[in-house]
Amino acid sequence: MASTPRIAAPGSTRPTAAGRASPARSPETEEAILDAALAELLAHGIRRTTASDLARRAGVSRQTLYRYWPDAQAVFAALVTRELVRALPPRTPEPPSLDELVALLVETADRIRRMPLLGRLRDTDPELFGRYVFTRLGSSQRAIHADLAARLARGQSQGFVRAGDPAQLAAMVLLVVQSAVQSGPLVAEWLPAESWTTELRAALAGYLGGAS
């Protein structure tokens, strides 16, 4: 998934090509555009939605939308990043045991698996689903990986996560969970939702608690 453009800090300005300062970007306007993108995606899918549709639903002009993102596809990429990062659990209080850490990870994975946004992408635009979520190392994957690595490092310091490079452990956990989320519907005949969470919990507990 492509990384989103850098957001200017509230109250700041950006130089234009002619050297003049453009108006500051508003976090409220940015959220309104992303909220509009979510509503349009759920209602119509990505392929049928244009920048004009997004601007109209957000209540802004196309020129305003283009100050934030270059096109509708970039807005949708930013939307996926926002929704996945929002699904991350709070950082405190930290789980005090491997069982509780794994339960937190599985709960988060299950919440992502059930997200209407991902279901809509999977059903209507499977190619874009893979591109936005799983085939590119973008902002959401980097944020999730960083969060995982920090949690695993703290688990190691408390003695309930096995030894190893936390970044490498986090990368493997990310691969396992992404595969489980992406391919879960394909094996629903053998692995219904309740069993999906049980087996994912067993896989993660075995990996993170095993001998180094």
| Residue pLDDT, tens place only, 150-208 | 999 999 999 999 999 999 999 999 999 988 988 888 899 999 988 999 999 999 999 99
Q: Are residues 34 and 100 in the same domain?
A: no
Structure confidence by residue, pLDDT tens digits, 115-134: 898 888 877 777 766 666 66
Q: How many domains does the chain have?
A: 2
pLDDT the model gives residue 87 = 86
Looking up tokens 């850098």 gives: 6
**Contact in structure between 57 and 36 (CB atoms under 8 Å):** yes
Q: What are phi and psi of 15, to 5 degrees?
A: -70, 140
User: Residue 3 falls within a domain, yes or no?
Assistant: no
Enclosing domain of residue 164: 89-209
Angle at 112 between CA 121 and CA 60, to 5 degrees: 55
Q: Which bin fits 165, alpha (ψ -120 to 50), beta or left (φ > 0)?
A: beta
pLDDT band at 14 (very low <50, low <70, confident <90, very high): very low
**Contact in structure between 170 and 59 (CB atoms under 8 Å):** no
pLDDT the model gives residue 133 = 63
Q: What is the rounded distance in angstroms from the CA atom of residue 80 to the CA atom of residue 119?
A: 12
Q: Are residues 118 and 201 in the same domain?
A: yes
Q: Report the SS3 class of residue 22.
A: strand
Distance set, CA 190 to CA 29, 112, 187, 193, 195 (Å): 45, 21, 6, 10, 9
User: Residue 6 falls within a domain, yes or no?
Assistant: no
User: What is the pTM (predicted TM-score) of this model?
Assistant: 0.75
| Domain's final residue, options 82, 105, 121 | 82
pLDDT the model gives residue 134 = 61
pLDDT band at 21 (very low <50, low <70, confident <90, very high): very low
Q: What is the rounded distance in angstroms from the CA atom of residue 133 to the CA atom of residue 40?
A: 18
Q: Are residues 104 and 159 in the same domain?
A: yes
| Average pLDDT of the residues in 35-43 | 95
Residue 45 makes CB contacts below 8 A (sequence gap 6+) with: 120, 124, 125
User: Residue 195 falls within a domain, yes or no?
Assistant: yes
| Domain's final residue, options 48, 82, 116 | 82
Q: What are phi and psi of 72, to 5 degrees?
A: -65, -35
Structure confidence by residue, pLDDT tens digits, 49-82: 999 999 999 999 999 999 999 999 899 989 988 9
Q: Are residues 198 and 96 in the same domain?
A: yes
E strand residue ranges, the chain:
14-15, 21-22
Q: Which bin fits 163, alpha (ψ -120 to 50), beta or left (φ > 0)?
A: beta
Q: Are residues 95 and 124 in the same domain?
A: yes
